Structure 1
Amino acid sequence: MNEKAITRASLADVRIRKERGESQTSPNAPEREAFERGFWDKAEMRVGKGGIQSVHLKLEKEVFEFFKERGKGHISRMQEVLKAYAHAHK
């Protein structure tokens, strides 16, 4: 994929495009595999060899609120989700 093929859009823009029928997603795309029941119960916290690095990260309000509404530790939960994603795609 080249840089010209990459576009940025807000969630609202994506929804508007979808309503207009302008979505570029494939209607034949496979369904995402659902996590098995208890998936997060088996998750474990790991700290990589490189340790922890402080970064500034901009998130959509909807994403941040999703984690924050679940109480104290929302930053750690975000880290765990990102780490699980990274491990799953290695």
Structure 2
Amino acid sequence: MTGKNTKRANLSDLRKMKERGETQPSFTAEPAPDLPKGFWDDAALVNHTKTKEPISLRVDSDVLEYFKAQGKGHLTRMNAVLRSYVDAQRSKTSDEAADHN
């Protein structure tokens, strides 16, 4: 999508424009709010050490269409569903092991 104010330039042109002071942001960002003390104390890293493996996976076409219909990020959502299942199964297995002890 291009508007009437959109111009094309290569990286070299952009650097020269910046040196001449010809580039300006198209918006003014609000300053970041001051966070209360301890704001990050309960923060936890998510997927900090997990790596993702590229795979080829066959799924039913209606399943794929369902996730795609929800918009961008359908593969991430599919992974989240699988993650939820794995976590539930692991929890179930550990609960059963604890019951036997």
| Larger-Rg structure | 2
TM-score when scaled to structure 1? Answer: 0.46
TM-score by length of 2: 0.41
- Structure with more contact order per residue of length (Cα contacts < 8 Å, sep ≥ 6): 1
